[in-house]
Structure 1
Amino acid sequence: MPLLLKTSFWLSTMAVVVLSLLPVAYLPPQSFDIWDKTQHAAGFLVLAVLGLAAYPATPVLRVCLGLLLLGGAIEFAQSATGWRQGDLLDLLADAVGIVLGGGLSWPLRRLLAAASRHVRHQG
């Protein structure tokens, strides 16, 4: 299970980075700006849940700050391209997703930690 979670986390992270840096012409058109923010929040919610589940021994704050730094780096990289724009509201949406993902992953992390302790005591 840990390998599957780590693989899922890193593949999802790569997908978010690649999709965030693709030229807009390669992405589906968006009708509403709010959909863009929802995509940011949803993407980082998934990354937070996967990251926190994949690395249960890592402090929550470290994982969440790492993801926030990733979001900031993506916005900076978008500003450096000629085809995308960095946006602080996108970073805020990333932060909302990270906080929601952190809250949703709390019971999952406790369950994984308990299962890990159980396996160690039996092994």
Structure 2
Amino acid sequence: MLVLLVLCLVPVPPQLPSTGWDKSNHALAFAVLAFLGNRAWPGRTAPVLLGLLAYGGLIEVLQSFTPDRFAEWGDLLADGIGLVLGEAVAQLLWRHVPRRA
């Protein structure tokens, strides 16, 4: 989460790994967070996803205070889509992986 925060607030660096589209970068980052959150706090889906969406909102608010970045509702929407996709992948994957005792 800290790395994501830094990447979202620093001036646009020359070459970072990217999907090629800002919105898909947001979706991918938040899908990973949702996937990890699913494993870290199993059974607490709603609080984890709502907390991560609030984190995405915080990032957008902080970006509005930077000279090189700006807040966009589309970014927050992409974050939300990524959260849903990450949770769906986690649910599908963990359904087929046996749990350890």
Task: Please give the TM-score of this superposition, normalised by the length of structure 2.
Answer: 0.85
1:55-85 per-position Cα deviation (integer Å, ceiling 9, x unaligned): 214x101110011001000000000112210
Give the superposition deviation at 1:108.
4.2
Q: Does the CA-based 8 Å contact 1:52-1:109 persist in structure 2?
A: no
Greater fraction helix: 1
* Aligned counterparts, 1:1-123, within 5 A: 13-24=1-12, 26-28=13-15, 35-57=21-43, 59-110=44-95, 115=99, 119=101
Cα displacement string for residues 26-53 of structure 1 (whole angstroms, at most 9, x for unaligned residues)? 2438xxxx71001000110011001111
Q: Is the 8 A contact 1:48 1:63 kept in 2?
A: yes
Pick 1 or 2: higher relative contact order, CA cutoff 8 A, min separation 6: 2
Structure 1: stretches of 5+ with no match in the other structure: 1-12
In the alignment, structure 2 segments of 5+ residues that lack a partner are: none
Query: Where does residue 8 of structure 1 map in the other structure?
Result: none
Post-superposition offset of 1:115: 2.2
| SS of 1:86 mapped into structure 2 | coil
Pick the structure with greater CA Rg: 1
Give the secondary structure class of the aligned counterpart of 1:84: coil
Distance in 1 between the 2:14 and 2:40 partners? 29
Instruction: Give identity over the alignment, percent.
Output: 43
Residue-pair matches, total: 98
